Amino acid sequence: MSVSGFTDLREKLKAMTPHREEPRSGGEKRRRRPPSDEEEEDEEEARVREREHESEARKVKRGITQARVFTAEECARIEAEIDEVVARAERGLYREHTVDRAPLRNKYFFGEGYTYGPRLERRGPGQERLYSKGEVDEIPAWVHELVISRLVARGLIPEGFVDSAVINDYQPGGCIVSHVDPIHIFERPIVSVSFFSDSALCFGCKFQFRPIRVSEPVLSVPVRRGSVTVLSGYAADDITHCIRPQDIKERRAVIILRKTRPNAPRLDTSLLSPSISPPPERRHKLKAKRSHRKADPDAAHRPRVLEMDKEEQRLSLSSRQNRHENSGSENSWRRMEASSLYKHSHHAHADTPSRQVKMRRH
């Protein structure tokens, strides 16, 4: 027994905190408040959304085929060819519509190219148009030899299927917003081959900008270096796919192989305004200049935001004009008031010429 009368420190602490409730016995638990009708409805809606999400993800998966086709050595050889494409574009050796530049992502069209995004004559899905024949360069021989032939041999695509090859070259943080490859332009399947690094292909995302934000995907599919991803059915036609900025951590390139439809609409160049052809000695310089021209970051990825920008600029200009007009009115009123005071002063002292008023400059 200690001086304080307690033999156990726990008894002393218990005596010092008499307000603490006694622990409940064995299986006794605190009763939960029964959920309200609104809470039950919210929980039921959440369960329904989750089931729909899972169902859609299953439908997407059924339309995806993936295969690891290229070894590290084969990837390195193909990547060297992609680097050569980039170098040729920098030297201005491709036709005007072969190269399409955007921040952190460049596109190189071969075989067939098409208008999209801000390059559309009319905005909206279904307005995409193929360029006239010869507007983009032919598919390089190395794409046929090193890539397409391997996929044909593996049975992933039939012989003679590909007439359009696009190389997307992404820098870290690059992206391509949610979209569906134009159904009226391209047949299915859509085939892509990944190089330089691993990434992910996401389905069903929504993009927001300033700053850029991307919603959670319905499904995120890993895409490995040297792997082939084939989209068909629901995955190709009924849900959008995208590349998110957070999924491009290193440089990545993808070769997209597609077949254009025989009846795909083409851009009617006869409706374009005629232009004077430059002399032959200047054509090469103009090509180089155009190939180096960089697209506006917003125009490349989000044409709708451009319309919002125009409205903001219009409102800002209107606001500045109003402020200018108000300022002008106020200055005019002050000038009138000063003039009135001067006239009044001059009239009051017209009979006293000996009196002079000195004006100080401030």
The residues annotated as belonging to the active site are 114
- Show the DSSP H helices in the chain as ranges: 9-16, 37-62, 72-90, 141-142, 149-153, 233-237, 280-292, 297-301, 303-348
Examine residue 211 and say whether the peptide bond preceding it is cis (omega within 30 degrees of 0): yes
Residue 31 structure tokens: 């009763």
- Sequence-distant (≥ 6) Cβ neighbours of residue 112 within 8 angstroms: 130, 131, 136, 163, 164, 260
Q: How far apart are the first and last CA of the chain?
A: 93
Residues 73 and 84: their CA atoms lie apart, in Å, by: 17
Tokens coding 20: 């603490």
- Tell me the DSSP string of 71-107: -HHHHHHHHHHHHHHHHHHHTT-S-GGGEEEETTEEE
Map residue 254 onto helix, strand or coil.
strand
Q: Among 67, 98, 257, 102, which residue's Cα sits nearest to residue 175?
A: 102
Which amino acid, one-letter code, is at 13? L
Helix (H, G, I), strand (E, B) or coil at 313: helix
What tokens appear for 100 in the block?
A: 């399409």
Half-sphere exposure of 122 (CA within 13 A, CB side): 6
Side-chain-facing half-sphere of 203: CA atoms under 13 Å: 23
Beta bridge partners of 316: none
Instruction: Report the alpha-carbon distance of residue 243 to residue 241 in Å, rounded.
Output: 7
